[in-house]
Amino acid sequence: MSAATGELCAAFGCPMIAAIGVAGHWYCACHWREPVASFDAITAELHRQHALVDAANGIRRSRAGYVAIRDAENVLIEITHALGQQYSLRPDIEVADDADHACPEHEVEL
């Protein structure tokens, strides 16, 4: 999937553009790798932060590049972190088009 399609995250009601494919579904950076039980709380917070969501979606649609997209989405990940324990997108990743490069290579044990 490309950012140009503008398809939204598979989490019900999420206003963010999907970018990361998981088991046939596409999720935004805030819902990716999170338990379904936390989806509603994350989505509600994203609606409260609509100005930041609009900015992040605009940057993704403009194809501004990985660093600009990562920086905009990391702001939202930071805000929603307490709701679902999201991972920040890694700053050390080279610019890549496929979702495999955006995945942390280690798991955090709870």
Task: Confirm whether 17 is domain-assigned.
Answer: yes
Q: What percent of the chain has pLDDT over 70?
A: 70
Task: Confirm whether 104 is domain-assigned.
Answer: no
- What does residue 48 show for φ and ψ, rounded to 5 degrees? -65, -30
Give pLDDT tens digits for 37-83: 889 999 999 999 999 999 999 999 998 889 999 999 999 998 887 77
- What range does the domain containing 74 cover? 3-92
Q: Two tokens at 59?
A: 């940057």
Task: Confirm whether 40 is domain-assigned.
Answer: yes
Task: Confirm whether 100 is domain-assigned.
Answer: no
Task: Confirm whether 103 is domain-assigned.
Answer: no
User: From CA 56, how far away is CA 25, in angstroms rounded?
Assistant: 20
Q: Which helix (H) or strand (E) holds 75?
A: helix 66-84
The confidence score (pLDDT) of residue 89 equals 59
Task: Confirm whether 107 is domain-assigned.
Answer: no
Assess whether pLDDT exceeds 70 at residue 96: no
pTM (2 decimals)?
Answer: 0.68
Contacts of 69 (CB under 8 A, 6+ apart): 3, 19, 56, 59, 60
In one letter, which amino acid is 101? Answer: H
Task: Confirm whether 74 is domain-assigned.
Answer: yes
The total number of structural domains in the chain stands at 1
The confidence score (pLDDT) of residue 6 equals 63
Task: Confirm whether 97 is domain-assigned.
Answer: no
